[in-house]
Chain A
C-alpha cells in the first residue's frame, strides 16, 4: 500500500517491527528496483532481548540485502531528524529508505526540536511501466539502475554529516550506531568514536581514515556483527563480538564490561543491594478473557494445538498449557495442515487463530485445507479487536481504525465461502457449549471451524458485569477454578484438607461466570451489593 501511495506521488511511510518486514519483504526487495516518485520510508523497529517478539533478528541486513539506504537513529531527536532525512534521500535517489530503530529508541521519550519541513509536491501518478512493471525485461534494467544508485549513495554516506567522527583519546576507536552510541558515551566519554547514522551503503573510506587515527578499532553493536563484518571486509583490522554478546540488548553496564575485557579501564561496578526473592510475573490473560475456555477444553481433549500470534499465545503457559506450536503471524492453519498430514499427532489437530490474524494472514491456508481435504479444526477466537497490540479495529470489527462505521466481514459466511462445510459460532463463556462444539468439530471428516463470539473485555470497551466472590465455607480448595489462570483468583489465607482455599478480587473480576461453571460445590457466588459496576 505504501509503495502504491508513493508511486502515486504521495509521501508514504510504513512502520512495523522487525518481523513485520519479513512479511513485507517480497514487496520491499522489488521496491528497491522500482523506486517511487515520492518519498518511501520503511520504519522497522528491532527488538533485541525480545521484550515482546518471537525472535531478535537484526534487520540492518535487510538494507544490504535489498540495496537500500539504512538510517539508524540513536534517540528521539534523531528519530525525528532522520525521518525527514529519509524522505529527502528517498526522493533525491529514487529509492525506498530503511529507518531502523530498536526497542530502546522507540519506547522512549526525549526532547525533540522541530525543524521546518517542506511540504511534498501534489500527488500525481505518471505512467512508467519500464520502471513500475517488474517483468524480467524491465527488471534487468532496474537492477542495473539499483547498482548505479548504490554507488551514488556510497558517496553520500562517505560525506554524510550523520556519520560523525569524534576524535578524543586515540588509544581506542569505537565504531557504533543507534542507541549504543549513547551507552558508549555514558561509560567512556573520553574515547574516540565514529558514530554511523547512515550505515548502508557502508562508508568504507571514512572508516579507513578513522582507523588510521586510532591505535585499535572496536565495534560496539547490538545483535549481529553487521558493522564489524563490513569493516573486516574492507580490509581493516577490527574487533567487536569477541567482547560483546550477539544475543539480547546491550546496556551501559554491558558496554563497560565488554570494553573492560577489550582492555579499556572501565569504572568498577557500583555497590548495590542484593536481589531479594520475588514472585515471577509473566504476562497472563486478563480476568474475563474470552480466549481461556477454548484452551481449557482443548487441553482436556488432548488436542495437538497449533497457535498463532496474539494474546492467546499466552495459553501456552501454565496453567492452560494448551498450545504446542507458535511461529509466525498466520502460520497456525498451515502448520495444522502439516501436523495433520504428518500422521504423527497424538490427538485431533486444532489450529487456533484470532480474528484479526485470521483476516490478516489466515485465509489462504484455510482455503487450502478445504481444497486439499485435510482433517483439521480451526478455532477462530473472535474478540472483535486486535487486543495484543492495543485494540486496533480490523475488517470484521465494524469500525475503522478512527472509530467510524465500516463494512463488516461476516466470518461465518467467509468460512462457508471458502468451502468449509461445518461452521459453528459458540459463546466462550459457556464452558459446556465450548466443550460440546469442539468435540463435535474434531469428529468431522474434513475441515471444521469453531468461532467464539465474545468481545475483548478491555478494548475498545471495558466489559464489566457484577463481580463474584467465594463463599469461604463452601470452598473445598479443589483448585479447579485456578486452572483458568484468572488473575482475579488467588489463594486466600484459608485451608481445607491441606489445600489452599481461594478468593476473588472484586475490583478486577469482570463477572464472566466461567469460574462459577468450574466450581463443583457452588462456592462461587455473586458478590454482595447492587448489580452493575462503575
Chain B
C-alpha cells in the first residue's frame, strides 16, 4: 500500500470487534502522521447483523467512504462477509479473511429442500479470483494465544505487514484502545497474526478449519410428506396436542372439532404429530428413505 495514503475496508458480524479494530487502525494512522476519516455502519449489529467500517488515510482525506473497486485491502473477520465485500476490493489488492464462520439462522431455512444457504469455504476458488488471499482461523489463533475475543487483533497483525505504519504506533494504539485488562491478550494476538507467512499459511490454515455442511448433497426430500387422518378418533379442541407440536403450523382444529391439515405443502414428515397423538389419529406417509 502506498505511503501517500490508502483505503481500508473492515467487515464482519456484530460482536466480533470490527468497530474497535477500525478505531485502532484509525488511531495508528493518526499516530503515524496521517489525516484519517472513518465511517462505520452497524445498524442493529448487536443483533448479529453486518458491520462495515470504511477507513481512509492520507495527507488530507475528503470522503470517508470507499467506493467499489477502490479498497487497497479488505479485512474480514468472517468468511461470508469477506465474500460480500469482494466488489469493494481493488483488483490485485489483498483480502485478509478469517476462516471462522458465523452461520446466520436464515441460512438454515429450506426445510424441505435442505439447501444450506451459506457459501462453502472454497479457499482455492477465492484465491484464483482474488490472487492475494491471506486467510487464517483467527478465532482459533486468538484462543490459543490468550483470548478468543482478540480475534480482531490477529487480523490487525496480518494487516500490519501491508500498511506503512511504524510498529510503535500499532503498540500505542492497541494499548490506548483495547478494553481494560485485555492489552496483553490483544498484543499476543497481534503478534501471532503478524508472524503468519503467506501464501503458505493460507493453505495450512484452511486445511485445519472445521468442516461445515454444504449444498443439499441430494439427501433432502424435496416434496412434502402426506398425512392420513382417522378423524372419528380425534378429541379436537379438548386435546390439540398435535396443533401445538407441529413445527410447521400445518395442523388446526376445524369447525367440526376435528384435526385438519391446513398447510399440506409445508409438512416435512417429522412425525411429531404421529408420535404425540394419544389416540392414533395421524399416520405420516413418508416418501423419502434416507440414503445410506
9-residue interface stretch from A35-43, A208-216, A218-226, A267-275: A267-275
The reply on B45 being an interface residue by CB < 8 A is: yes
Instruction: Tell me whether A279 and B118 are in contact in the complex, defined as CB-CB below 8 angstroms, given that A300-B244, A476-B271, A499-B220 are known contacts.
Output: yes
Known: A182-B63, A182-B64, A270-B90. A500 touches B49 (CB 8 A): no
Which residue of the partner chain, among B67, B217, B286, contacts A253 with CB atoms under 8 Å?
Answer: B67
Query: Among residues 288 to 308 in chain A, which have CB atoms less than 8 Å away from a CB atom of chain B?
Result: 299-300
- B129 to nearest A CB, angstroms? 6
Q: Considering the chains assembled together, what is the distance between the CA atoms of A498 and B130 in angstroms?
A: 36
In whole Å, how far is A321's beta carbon from the nearest beta carbon of chain B?
A: 10
Instruction: Please give the distance in Å from A391's CB to the nearest CB on chain B.
Output: 9
| Given A109-B38, A479-B268, A507-B148: A498 touches B290 (CB 8 Å cut-off) | yes
Mask: chain A, 468-489; 1 = CB below 8 Å from B; 0 = not: 0000000011111011011101
A104 to B80, CA, bound (A): 25
A487 contact set on B, CB distance < 8 A: 48, 104-105
- Pick from A107, A284, A477: contact of B270, CB under 8 Å: A477
**Are B68 and A270 touching (Cβ within 8 A)?**
yes
> In the assembled complex, which residues on chain A have CB atoms less than 8 Å from the CB atom of B109?
318-319, 482
Whether the pair A283, B49 counts as a contact (CB closer than 8 A) is yes
Q: Are A499 and B111 in contact (CB under 8 A)?
A: yes
With A and B bound together, what is the CA distance between A299 and B244 in angstroms?
11
Q: With A104-B65, A272-B68, A478-B272 as known contacts, state yes or no: A283 contacts B41, CB within 8 Å.
A: no
CA distance A507 to B15 in the complex (A): 13
A178–chain B nearest beta-carbon distance, Å: 12
User: Is A482 in contact with B272, judged by CB distance below 8 angstroms?
Assistant: no
Per-residue contact bits, chain A 489-526, to B (CB 8 Å; 1 contact, 0 not): 11111011111101000010000000000001000000
A485 vs B81: C-alpha distance when bound (angstroms): 20
Tally of contacts, chain A with chain B, CB under 8 A: 228
Assembled-state Cα–Cα distance A109/B35 (Å): 11
Closest to B111 in A: A479
A314 to B44 alpha-carbon distance, docked (Å): 10
Inter-chain contacts of A479 with B (CB < 8 A): 111, 247-248, 268, 270
Q: Does A150 contact B (CB under 8 A)?
A: no
Q: Please tell me if the beta carbons of A272 and B104 are within 8 angstroms of each other in the complex.
A: no
Q: Does B213 contact A (CB under 8 A)?
A: yes
Interchain CA distance A486-B104 in the complex, whole Å? 9
Min CB gap B185→A, angstroms = 13
Q: Is the interface of A mostly helix, strand, loop or mixed?
A: loop
Instruction: State which residues 209-257 of B face A: CB under 8 Å.
Output: 211-213, 217, 219-222, 243-245, 247-249
Q: Does A52 count as interface, using CB distance less than 8 angstroms?
A: yes
Interface residue count on the A side (C-beta < 8 Å): 72
A163 to chain B, nearest CB (A): 19
Q: How far is the CB of A249 from chain B (nearest CB, A)?
A: 9
CB distance from A469 to the nearest CB of B (A): 15
Q: B50 and A270: CB pair below 8 A?
A: no
Cβ contact of B63, chosen from A185, A278, A497, A520, cutoff 8 A: A185
Q: Mark B269-290, 1 if CB is under 8 A from A, else 0.
A: 1111001100000000010111
Question: Is B184 an interface residue when CB atoms closer than 8 A count as contact?
Answer: no
Q: Among B23, B104, B114, B276, point to the contact of A500 (Cβ < 8 A).
A: B114
Q: A272-B69, A520-B245 are in contact. Are A281 and B50 (CB under 8 A)?
A: yes
B residues engaging A (CB < 8 A)? 13-14, 23, 26, 30, 35-50, 61-65, 67-70, 80-81, 83-84, 86-91, 103-109, 111, 114, 116-119, 129-130, 148, 211-213, 217, 219-222, 243-245, 247-249, 268-272, 275-276, 286, 288-290
For the complex of A and B, the 6 pairs showing the least CB-CB separation, nearest first, are: A52-B43, A272-B69, A498-B221, A51-B43, A283-B47, A270-B69
Q: A272-B68, A485-B105 are in contact. List 10 more A-B contacts (CB 8 A).
A: A75-B64, A251-B67, A271-B69, A274-B86, A279-B80, A279-B107, A319-B109, A479-B268, A490-B103, A498-B288
Residues of A within 8 A of B (CB): 51-52, 75-76, 103-104, 107-111, 179, 182-183, 185-186, 251-253, 269-286, 299-300, 311, 314, 318-319, 387-388, 390, 435, 458, 476-480, 482-483, 485-487, 489-493, 495-500, 502, 507, 520
